[in-house]
Structure 1
Amino acid sequence: MLKRMAGVTLIELVIGIVVLAISLTIVTSVLGPLAIKSVDPWHQVRAAELGQSLMNEILAKSFDEQSSRSGGLLRCNEAGASACTASISLGPDSETRAQFDDVDDFHNLDLSGNAINNIFGDDARMENIYRAYRVQVQVSYDSVLTKRIVIRITTPTGDVVEFAAIKGNW
């Protein structure tokens, strides 16, 4: 009597390989986009750090070029005081960023790559962290006594994180 040998036929082997290939294709097509999106929270945290740091720097400056930096009693645009900077004149007053002394000096600031650095120009520490980011700042009058500051941080994935604050003339 001949014993029947146990084994796998060629057809069964080919069907097993096809089923394995289909299941691996489905798994990788589902996990691929998740891997790309998993870096988004990391970029958003970095953008939040950068935006908050820059906003703190801007809000620490005086309201206007004509404002008293020693805590005077008169504010610009008050009777007996100088007029505040006109809307069309917002922007740096022939100063470098390290010399910005009032809020509107930051108007139209647009930095990317290695140009993103802190107030002291210490870019060696930050150049690799924010290499693919972009920072844009807009300053405008919200009212006679307030300026609106909007900071837009664009992450390497193209997401835009926006920060806004009001600086008062008081």
Structure 2
Amino acid sequence: MLNKLQRHQTLRIKGFTLIELVIGMMVIAIGIVMLTSMLYPQADRAAATLQRVKSAELAHSVMNEIWGKRYDQQTNANGGVPACNSPTGVACSATMGNDGESRDAFNDVDDYHGLSESSIMLDSSQTYADAYPGFTLSVTVNYLDTTTQAEKLITVDVTTPSNEVITYQAVRSNY
């Protein structure tokens, strides 16, 4: 009799009951749901972050190129003469935009007004759309104050593939 009781107790210790199995599966299911609900949104955020980094890269390259050019067509590229619209200088250009130069010959800030993703990149046969597929680019250049024409606002709008418009701006002074 004692032998049967010992065998019965050892069998009980070795296994799980149906209730324990069901509870265990529910705990695992809840854990998996919580894990996936936290991980999947992270993947979307990672893609958006990558697009923002590429947007900044594109805008930075265009802004650096613009920043290296002279203020106005009427300003001497090598200095030595007064800046346009200064008391002893000539008048600044009245219109913004390309003065008829080819893309590689842009020589002042306002030549970049109207630059877009379909424009050819500097010293290249490739367009911005080729180098940054899915991104759109729009560059505008305006005077901050049209009466003094002493500063130009450069605005670079980059639209990511997820249609997020990111605006980058810089002010260039007439010095």
Q: Classify the TM-score, shorter chain.
A: 0.7 to 0.9
- Percent sequence identity is 37
Structure 1 residues 109, 116: CA separation in 2 closer, same or farther (over 3 Å shift)? closer
User: What is the aligned length?
Assistant: 164
> In structure 1, the residue corresponding to 2:144 is in which secondary structure?
strand
Distance 2:120 2:20 in 1: 63
- Give the equivalent residue in structure 2 for 1:105: 111
> Are positions 1:19 and 2:21 aligned together?
no
Please list, as runs of the form range in 1=range in 2, the aligned pairs for 1:1-170 lying within 5 A after superposition: 1=4, 3-4=7-8, 5-6=11-12, 7-78=15-86, 82-86=90-94, 89-111=95-117, 115=118, 118-121=121-124, 123=126, 127=130, 130-143=132-145, 144-170=149-175
Deviation string for 1:72-115 (max 9, x for gaps)?
514333567553222xx31123344223221111112221xxx4
Task: Say which one has the larger Rg.
Answer: 2
Amino acid in structure 1 at the alignment position of 2:46: S
CA displacement, residues 19-43 of structure 1 (integer Å, 9 cap, x when unaligned): 2112201111122112221344433
Q: How far apart are the structure 2 equivalents of 1:24 and 1:78? A: 70
Distance 1:127 1:109 in 2: 15
| TM superposition score normalised by structure 2 | 0.74
Extract unaligned runs of 5+ from structure 1: none
Using the size of structure 1 for normalisation, the TM-score is 0.75
Kept after mapping to 1: 8 A contact 2:51/2:161: yes
Please tell me the residue identity of whatever aligns with 2:96. L
Q: Report the residue type matching 2:63 in the other structure.
A: M
Bigger relative contact order (CA 8 A; separation at least 6): 1
Question: Distance in 2 between the 1:85 and 1:116 partners?
Answer: 23
- Mapped partners of 2:136, 2:119: distance in 1: 8
DSSP-derived class of the 2:100 partner: coil
